[in-house]
Amino acid sequence: MVSTIVHQLTKDLTPEEIMQQGFQNYYVDHTVGIWPQAAGGVPFNACEFQSKGDPITDLFEDMAAEQKARSTYDNILRLVKDPEVADPIRFLRAREVVHFQRFGEALRTVQEELDCKNFYAFNPSFDFPKKSGCDCK
């Protein structure tokens, strides 16, 4: 969606407008085509995805990623007032909030199945803890 918004905003730019807005370096490499990158110019790559194979670690990472995306959308909304841009960004921001909540629910479900006194001591994907018999509720 963000790439589509960028395309809509840049498709009719003249070379002069590209220069005035500081897009000349991007234009030289990509014309006005979509090239996913961070605001600082770092291209998108697989390093954006983090996985350790431990459900607890991975769920916390997922939750953090959703919050980082939400923060980015908040920053965009502080800068952009055009409703054709802001409305889809608001939709994406709301989606990040829901994703964060769902990952939080999944994390609680995983933790409920573990030894309530020490659920960080093992990787539930590989280690099978003995239930301590404690009542965690």
Binding residues for Mn(2+): 66, 99
CA 86 to the chain's CA centroid: 18
Contact 123, 129 (CB under 8 A): no
The residues pairing with 43 across neighbouring beta strands, listed in sequence order, are 37
Question: Which residue positions form the known binding site?
Answer: 66, 99
* H runs (alpha helix) in 21-54: 24-30
- Give the closest residue to 31 by CA, choosing from 2, 6, 64: 6
Angle formed by the axes of helices 55-79 and 83-112, nearest 10°: 160
